[in-house]
């Protein structure tokens, strides 16, 4: 856009957190409750016109987020006072809370897009590793009563680092006529298990992007290694096979949480991680 051209719209960015338990995923899906459905309806009610959300990560049914980033446009003639960040956040939280929390609202440049501008996403997966279940963590962790060997799980995670075809760990979208096959190549920047010292084990994984069920499939395989059901050296073969049949088990969704999103023009869009409540 040249200096003499005027924008046709203004772009708004939201930082959102949510408890994914009550929802059938993020993306709008007719007939079921979704995060985007509730958030879009609230925005339309507050702003007086429909919006189309772009989102950093389309989380699955039951998956949580402490940091999710959304963006949408409003017409340039839309009154600026109605886009007051604090007022808009308060109105949205009154309509969407407590399962959805709009933690920050800001006006951004038209070159920003929550999905396409993002350069990395980070997830945490939490395992409650104790013989007895924990009712206070049951909605946000996977209860695994078997003893887990953390060193083996971290050794098994090493082959996942770097750029690979993750077909063995992802559900491939259906083919679309006239379009090339969907690529499941992703670049994993880090993947590590940590013992939090209170019965919780946390798997943190960061990548350029993730495909459907990728983190949950990886988590399930690594937990099987920790249980002694599979060997760490098997992960390399599973990855190289590019065959979904080699890794069909997925960890339950409620242990997974989107905790960070990165953009090239910002130092960081990561907010302090808080367990959804």
Are 67 and 271 in contact, with CB atoms under 8 Å apart?
yes
Task: Determine the Cα–Cα distance for residues 141 and 126; give it in Å rounded to an integer.
Answer: 5
Across 120-145, b (16+ Cβ under 10 Å) vs e yields bbbbbbbbbbeeeeeeebebbbbbbe
User: Active-site residue among 60, 146, 165, 243?
Assistant: 60
Pairing mode of beta strands 64-75, 256-262:
parallel
Gyration radius from the chain CA atoms: 20
User: Can you list the positions of beta strands (E) in the chain?
Assistant: 9-18, 54-55, 64-75, 100-108, 120-128, 142-143, 162-165, 185-195, 200-207, 256-262
List, in order, residues 6 or more apart from 200 with CB less than 8 Å away.
126, 127, 128, 129, 137, 141
Backbone angles phi, psi at 5, to 5 degrees: -80, 145
Structure-block tokens of residue 144: 């695994």
Report the distance separating Cα 260 and Cα 37, nearest Å. 22
Rounded to whole angstroms, the Cα distance separating 15 from 222 reads: 31
Q: Respond yes or no: is residue 60 known to be catalytic.
A: yes
Cβ atoms 125, 203 nearer than 8 A: yes
Question: Beta strand 200-207 with 64-75: parallel, antiparallel or unpaired?
Answer: unpaired
User: Catalytic residue numbers?
Assistant: 60
């Amino acid at each position: 856009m040249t200096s003499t051209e005027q924008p046709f719209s203004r772009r708004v960015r939201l930082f959102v957190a949510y408890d994914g338990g009550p929802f059938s995923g993020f993306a709008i899906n007719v007939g079921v409750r979704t995060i985007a459905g509730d958030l879009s309806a609230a925005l339309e009610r507050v702003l007086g016109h429909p919006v189309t959300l772009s989102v950093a990560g389309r989380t699955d049914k039951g998956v949580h987020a402490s940091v999710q980033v959304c963006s949408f446009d409003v017409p340039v003639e839309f009154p600026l006072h109605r886009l007051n960040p604090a007022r808009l956040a308060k109105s949205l939280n009154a309509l969407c809370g407590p399962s959805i929390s709009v933690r920050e609202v800001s006006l951004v440049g038209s070159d920003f897009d929550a999905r396409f501008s993002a350069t990395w996403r980070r997830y945490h997966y939490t395992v409650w590793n104790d013989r007895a279940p924990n009712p206070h963590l049951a909605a946000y962790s996977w209860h695994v009563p078997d003893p887990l060997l953390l060193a083996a799980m971290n050794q098994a995670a090493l082959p996942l680092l770097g750029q690979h075809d993750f077909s063995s760990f992802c559900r491939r979208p259906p083919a679309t006529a006239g379009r090339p096959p969907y690529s499941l190549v992703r670049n994993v920047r880090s993947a590590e298990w940590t013992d939090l010292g209170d019965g919780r084990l946390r798997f943190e994984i960061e990548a350029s992007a993730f495909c459907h069920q990728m983190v949950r499939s990886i988590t399930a395989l690594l937990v099987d290694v920790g249980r002694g059901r599979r060997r760490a050296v098997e992960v390399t073969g599973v990855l190289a096979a590019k065959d979904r049949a080699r890794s069909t088990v997925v960890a339950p969704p409620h242990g997974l949480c989107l905790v960070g999103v990165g953009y090239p023009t910002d130092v960081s869009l990561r907010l302090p991680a808080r367990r959804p409540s």
